[in-house]
Amino acid sequence: MNRNYIFLTVLMLILAFGTFFLTKPKELKQIEPQELLREIVQPTRYITTDQVAKMIIQKDPSLELIDLRSTEEFNQFALPNSINIPLDSILNKNSLMYFGIPGTKVVFVCNDDIQSDQAWVITKRLGFKSTYVMTGGLNR
């Protein structure tokens, strides 16, 4: 038998055996729709502009501001230390790493609170905790 065939056969067996050790990507545990509906009606998901301003002034390390506006709008004006993640990019793998960090309060910011509400629903449905909407957005 040819050496190349033996080598290829051994290589294929090693690769096939190696697939057993591959880890599955971490799947997000989604909450039930009924639980999401219960949380939607709670006023605790909102945080006022005054509360956000106070946390910015005090340089609260637990505050994580996520600005949902377009990159162009973000470059024109942004709150200090805010992170720009446009709403249409919120489910990207790189964007999801900002959510679910223990001890942080993720506050969604936009011109108004419509897109922030949408981002809140998406992240809450995916099971992320400590997410909030800044009431009235930047226009307030």
For residue 69, the number of C-alpha atoms closer than 13 Å in the C-beta half-sphere is 20
pLDDT digits (tens, 9 = 90+) for 4-14: 778 778 777 78
**pLDDT at residue 107, rounded to an integer:** 96
pLDDT digits (tens, 9 = 90+) for 52-109: 999 999 999 999 999 999 999 999 999 999 999 999 999 998 899 899 889 999 999 9
**pLDDT at residue 32, rounded to an integer:** 85
C-beta separation of 56 from 80 below 8 A: yes
